[in-house]
Amino acid sequence: MQHIIMKLVCSIRSSVLLLGFLLVVQSTNAQDRIPITFGIHLNPTLQIPGKNGGLTETNGNKAGINYGFDIHYQWKAKMAFTAGIHHALNRVDVDFNINEGPYAELDYDVRFQQVRIPLGFKLQTKQLGYMQYYVHGFFNPSFTVQERISDSTNILSDHRPKGESKIIRPVNMGFGFGVGCDYELLPRRFISVGVRYENSLVNHFRKTGQFQEYLSGNRVSMHYLSLFMGFRF
């Protein structure tokens, strides 16, 4: 199963790289005819877990990364639609204080990867010299493509969720917003810098499978604060 998942992740990464190449070619050939630009970005991310449930404790914030490609359609002079394909590396460390037999304390260190397809709307100022400022809001459907679970107590050596009993939902939905600026380095070539906040609307835990009686009563949603660094062309 893990081998299949790794092949899927490699296939997605290859597809994203191919898409990026095609977008560069498309941008070069059509940039003077259509109001579309393409972008690439790399976002260092601070991941802040939020909990809701008496049995759950989250153990601090974790660092992550988000990178990918974006499409920017300039609908009007100060309004644009955006879409993208992003790959996110996430981590959450969760304790379940159950106090029942061998499960008195379950400590999960969960690392999971997601493919996200954000769809958004952007409000921009008029261009001030070479600078243009913006506010950006978006919905963020995501798909879990890989999950790895470990524990620090070794209690889970025979009880760790496996296969279909993994604890992270395969599909999630979130929203986000950000502020930033675009610097026009060359005509229709922009360096973008900003800050973004993203939140998952749905509990990251599955409600079925192994430990469902504990997972279903506990909610962990993720908050992501990131520094956006990109190039648009």
pLDDT tens string 37-64:
999 999 999 988 876 665 566 666 889 9
In this prediction, residue 20 carries a pLDDT of 54
Specify the fold of 2-232. Porin (2.40.160)
Q: Determine the Cα–Cα distance for residues 39 and 47; give it in Å rounded to an integer.
A: 24
For residues 157 and 41, what is the distance between their CA atoms, to the nearest angstrom? 39
* 3 state SS of 107: strand
What is the rounded CA–CA span in Å between residue 55 and residue 225? 26
Find which of 20-29, 117-126, 199-208 is predicted with most confidence, using mean pLDDT.
117-126
DSSP 8-state code for residue 213:
H
Query: What's the whole-number average pLDDT of the chain?
Result: 78
Check residue 49 and give its pLDDT: 81
Please tell me the predicted confidence (pLDDT) of residue 34: 74
Q: Which tokens is 46 given? A: 């601070």
Spatial distance between the Cα atoms of 21 and 34, rounded to a whole number of angstroms: 18
Token pair for residue 89? 């590396």
User: pTM score, two decimals?
Assistant: 0.77
Residue 112, pLDDT > 80, answer yes
**Tell me, what's the pLDDT at 39?**
94
Domain assignments of the chain as residue spans, ordered by start: 2-232
The answer, yes or no, to whether residue 196 has pLDDT greater than 90, is yes
Buried b (16+ CB within 10 A) or exposed e, 67-106: ebbbbbeeeeeeebebebbbbbbbbbbbbbeeeeeeeeeb
